[in-house]
């Protein structure tokens, strides 16, 4: 069960990140694709499955945010990613704000990935210590 959840979590994280990248590119190009109904629904489905897998992994492994420091950082980065992604794709008043939020969200996503891979709150930055 663990391996299925782990690989599902990794798969849906990749799908989520790649689809955010595509939607961000559409935002930068001012594409009408962002208004399609399926484009608004699919991320919620993918992210719900991703979150369900994450919760399942926490339960199976007995590792929880606010107990394990790297998971705490990962959850905080997730919140930042969600807020920045919302500004980038929906709430940003100007294209400059949406663009800055898009790249900040991507940075949050990549650092979250780094923390997850390293199982360390500093992610790839731990190599600098």
Tell me the pLDDT tens digit for each residue of 4-27: 999 999 999 999 999 999 999 999
Across 89-108, b (16+ Cβ under 10 Å) vs e yields beebeeeeebeebbebbbeb
**Where residue 128 falls among pLDDT bands split at 50, 70, 90?**
confident
Share of the chain above pLDDT 70, in %: 100
Dist CA 114 CA 118 (whole Å): 6
**Where residue 109 falls among pLDDT bands split at 50, 70, 90?**
very high
Look at residue 56 and tell me whether its pLDDT is greater than 90: yes
Look at residue 30 and tell me whether its pLDDT is greater than 90: yes
Total number of domains constituting the chain: 1
Tell me which residue has tokens 């394990």.
68
Task: Report the chain's mean pLDDT, rounded to a whole number.
Answer: 95
In this predicted structure, what is the pLDDT of residue 129? 79
Domain containing 42: what range? 2-128
């Amino acid at each position: 069960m663990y391996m299925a959840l782990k690989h599902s979590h990794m798969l849906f994280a990749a799908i989520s990140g790649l689809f955010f990248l595509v939607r961000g590119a559409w935002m930068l190009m001012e594409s009408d694709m962002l208004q399609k109904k399926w484009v608004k629904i699919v991320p919620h489905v993918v992210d719900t499955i991703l979150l369900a897998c994450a919760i399942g992994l926490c339960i199976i492994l007995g590792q929880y945010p606010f107990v394990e420091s790297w998971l705490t950082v990962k959850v905080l980065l997730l919140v930042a990613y969600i807020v920045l992604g919302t500004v980038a794709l929906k709430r940003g008043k100007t294209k400059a704000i949406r663009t800055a939020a898009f790249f900040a969200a991507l940075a949050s996503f990549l650092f979250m990935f780094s923390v997850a891979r390293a199982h360390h709150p500093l992610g790839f930055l731990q190599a600098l210590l």
